[in-house]
Amino acid sequence: MNTRTEHDSMGAVEVPADRFWGAQTQRSFQNFRIGEEKMPAGIIEAFVIVKRACAKTNRALGFLDEERAGLIEDVCREILEGKLDGNFPLSVWQTGSGTQSNMNVNEVIANRANAVAGKKLLHPNDHINMSQSSNDTFPTALHVAAAKAIKESLVPSLKKMISVLLSLEEKYAGVITVGRTHLQDAVPIAFSQEISGWREMVCRSLDAVVSSSESLYSLALGGTAVGTGLNCPAGFAEAAAQEIAKETGIPFVSAENKFHALSSKDGIAFCHGALKTLAADLMKIANDVRWLASGPRCGIGEISIPENEPGSSIMPGKVNPTQCEALTMVAAQVMGNDVSVGIAASQGNFQLNVYMPLIAYNFLQSVRLLSDAVTSFTENCLCGLSPNTDVMARNVSRSLMLVTALSPKIGYDNAAKVAKAARSNNTTLREEAVRLGFLTEKEFDETVRPENMV
């Protein structure tokens, strides 16, 4: 492998000649050969947005000349366009402050800019990291990446799911099915009402995710090393946050208390809690769907869902509820991620939390998995979901809990006698109500009408 020699404060390091990273990136690459998890692309993108905003701000404040600031902006544009992919190789399992990933971005921007300029104009610390510290840029990039992922990926996928559920409600209004509590038969319910419960779960989870993401809008940038803002000029934090807001379309602001912004990860933990809540709701919806679609002959079988793939390598003709299974696995992963994020957020010591790469990886994985799984479930399952009305009608007619409608007329105890007799004798509620002398056939038919019970 062809190499070139790069230097940092610790000395010389050999770096791949075809890469733009420098000595600090190479040291991290060599010293943290842990796992396969790399720093998420969303964090790199957010870092680049932050670096470009910082360059613009430093130029506006008179600390960075036009040529250097312009080069930084041009290289940032190249990175965002994917032209420098392959230059960000670092493991998630590195320093807990994310310093090495901050320097990875700084070095790539500086070295690429110098190559474009044909001369050494930019230093990764002196110019790219001007007015900054890893301790304020990583939490800033974390908030930017998390808020962008929610806005651009998760919110649209959830809105699409809500729209499809609403259309199913409208399409199947008037279809009556059996309610179920404790996995036992209950009184009738309209299928549209059951769907409305699913829809409301998603709506409320969406509201929770959006509202909790507002806690990410406060940026640590400007706090530098410990929150005091050492080496950061007056007005920098506010102006840089305004640039980031303009770039992303998200109302980011400079955090009022930088000591809190650097040391606490309560906002990101709070927001991930909303992702966990969403995962719990999606788990319930997916399980309802696969139970109702179970069968096709020996299960509940009250709904049909798309048959997307063969379900067995040994049983011909078997088809499984695979979209439900994928969604529930994603939900389980997100719930596990929430435990890790919570533990990591609790580990802020003094002026800094040093579990930030872990938080970043888990949070962005949760958003990505939820976004993709919701889209997949919506398009490949919900869009093709339909009720088996004959099965629903048969089950409603056989349900012993229709007897509930008799309670106001013959009393709870007598209604219970009717239900128990019908179950014991394998007869109908109508037959037993008449046999026990509680009602005539006409009175029963007038009283027990499933369509009036929903």
Catalytic residues: 182, 312
Q: Is 446 exposed, middle or buried (0-12, 13-18, 19+ CB in 10 A)?
A: exposed
In this structure, the number of other CB atoms found within 10 A of the CB of residue 236 comes to 24
CA distance 135 to 358: 15
In this structure, the number of other CB atoms found within 10 A of the CB of residue 421 comes to 17
**Strand intervals (E) in 316-385:** 348-349, 352-353
Is 97:352 a contact under the CB 8 Å cutoff?
yes
Among candidates 159, 155, 108, 158, which has minimal Cα distance to 129?
A: 108
CA distance 362 to 359: 5
What interhelical angle do 134-149 and 236-248 show, nearest 10? 30
Residue ranges of alpha helices (H) inside 62-127 are 66-80, 99-117
CA distance 255 to 28: 30
Phi first, then psi: give them for residue 3, nearest 5 degrees.
-130, 165
Q: Which residues contact 7 (CB under 8 A, 6 or more apart)?
A: 13, 23
Which whole-number Å values give the CA distances from 212 to 130, 216, 254, 263, 396, in the listed order? 31, 8, 18, 19, 42
Q: What angle do CA 128, 358, 285 make, to 5 degrees?
A: 125
Is 127:105 a contact under the CB 8 Å cutoff?
no
Q: What is the DSSP letter of 177?
A: E
Q: Cα dihedral sign for 139, 206, 325, 320?
A: negative
